[in-house]
Structure 1
Amino acid sequence: MDASNYSAIKKKVANGCSIKSPRQVDAGGRSWRIIYYPNGMQPGTTESISLYLQLDDAAGGEGFEVQYRFVISAPENGLGFMSGQVVAKFNRLDKNAHGFERFVTRDELEKSACLRNDAFHIRCDVTVLSRTRTRSSVEAAAEETSLV
């Protein structure tokens, strides 16, 4: 997911409002999206960037475990901020998004080499933990939305 026009977006998109990757990306037979909150998801997180992985298909039923990791990097290289590997249970009926309320502070991002020409790249590596292990990266262009 390419996050461009960072300076304008952080002024325009309020706390609790998100930018969502518009394209559904298949990993492990499921559809996924990256949700990016430029000014944090919750009150009190306005100085941070929040990142979430969202199960975006209509399949319900029992939950399943997913291992994921987020990476923020400069568009032209892979160097940047990386989360540790996280294992979470996803279920379309209950919990369809997991992530980080405070992935990185805006100040840390702005001082880093990740922000180049007012843009950076967000990637989420996903492994669906089941009988058949499937590994994939979720990447997409962005569209602005608000989650309520």
Structure 2
Amino acid sequence: MEVTETPDEAALARVETELAAFNDADVGPSEKATLAIIVRDENGAVLAGISGYTAWGWLYIQKLWVDDSLRGQGMAGRMLAAAEEEAERRGCHSALIDTFNPSAEKAYTRQGYVEFGRLENFPIGRSRIFLQKRLPSSHTKI
């Protein structure tokens, strides 16, 4: 057994590949696909973005960032809407996001996300909040 801060990339790839194969056999193919939304300025510099993926009918937003110059202008909401629209196009019925930032939690709630779980002191003094949203077109599918 090896404990390391610098794991071998091939070993990590093997773990991911084998786990995906196991899960696919257990619950069906995930059809996992990366999803990114990137906002650039006129010079091509990245000012905001979302990274995540779709799998098993869910959109999972792993990261969402907005530069200070665009905060308070609804950029997070517009990016979330674009990600949700693409997720629906891919056949997703719901979306998932988490945060420990109170301002981000408010932004996600304004977009229709609802808390379903919370880890206290993650990080210390804050709570990590897990939110979900049922996507509009799924209301007749599920």
TM-score, reference length from structure 2? 0.30
Q: Decide which structure has greater helix share.
A: 2
- Over alpha carbons, which structure has the higher Rg? 2
Greater RCO, CA 8 A, separation 6+ = 1
Q: What TM-score, normalized by structure 1, do the two folds share?
A: 0.29
